[in-house]
Amino acid sequence: MDQPIDMKRWRATPAVQGRTATDADVNEGRAVFAVGGEPVEIDLPACAIVREEEVGEPTPVIVIQVERLEDGTIAVGYRAVDGGTGIATFDDVEFLSEPDERFA
């Protein structure tokens, strides 16, 4: 999952939807974390911009999982367009219907 995403094929990015991610999902690149959360209904994969305070510039990502944690926090697992993975809270993520100029 360290490889950049081919934006011509972003919709083919493996993702976990409608169920909780497992360790196998993480190992096979369909998820970033496996903590036994409750899946959140959202169409995946999804283009988004992550905006975390004190982290720097807004980051274009492909969201591959969204789960509600035991404490009520909604965690978003994503793949960065230029490679790598991360986790953000739902409030730090701006979901988009399609990639925009920030994905170029």
Domains of the chain with bracketed CATH: 7-103 (2.30.30.30)
CB 5 within 8 A of CB 16: no
In the structure, what pLDDT confidence band is assigned to residue 54 with cuts at 50, 70 and 90?
Answer: low
pTM, rounded to two decimals: 0.95
Strand partners for 88 = 76
Mean pLDDT of 89-101: 96
Q: Is the pLDDT of residue 21 over 70?
A: yes
